[in-house]
A = this chain, B = another copy of it.
Amino acid sequence: MQYIKIFATGGTFDKEFNEIDGKLYFKETKLYDLLKLGRSQLNVKIETLMMIDSLKMTDVDRDYIVSKCKQEETKRIIITHGTDTMVKTAKLIARTLSDKIIILTGAMIPINFGSSDGLFNLGSALSFVQILKPGVYITMNGRYFQYDNVHKNKKMGDFEKINK
């Protein structure tokens, strides 16, 4: 099977606690640690495109993500992304790309905190990307959603279908 590409963009997934100023910040992606923890035997290549809060993601940032997805040789791509604007980025990608399997995922709790959902979501995204048909998807909460039939329920903190 072709290799799986993971593009890291930041989001809660990769946030850390800065013990000097007591604030959350980004250092580097935790994806390598998670793949090791999961004893992954998949052929995965990781590339960090940016390390930002998705509420601060600009159009320029999104265009860059789209270009990188287009340019990548494999057809299996995962993007780790902040959950707040994950759907927005997914829609933009879907306008341009239709022949690849592109999955956006993230976490509600940072990897570095005891109770993170990141490892679960990564296991899920890596599985879906192997067998879903080409398209743009979001995988969170153990589920997969078509990019145009999902929204984040900001009160509950989970994702749900628009047309149930």
Contact = CB atoms under 8 A, between A and B. Distances in A.
Interface string A47-60: 00000010000000
Interface string A135-164: 000011111100000000011011110000
A24 interface: yes
Contact of A113 (B17, B38, B42): B17
A120 interface: yes
B126 A20 contact: no
A61 interface: no
User: So how many copies of this chain end up in the complex?
Assistant: 4
A73 B146 CA distance: 28
Most buried by B among A34, A35, A109, A159: A109
Interface string A91-132: 000000000000000001110111111011111111110111
A124 B125 CA distance: 8
Contacts of A84: 22
Interface of A: 12, 15, 17, 19-20, 22-24, 34-35, 37-42, 53, 84, 108-110, 112-117, 119-128, 130-132, 139-144, 154-155, 157-160
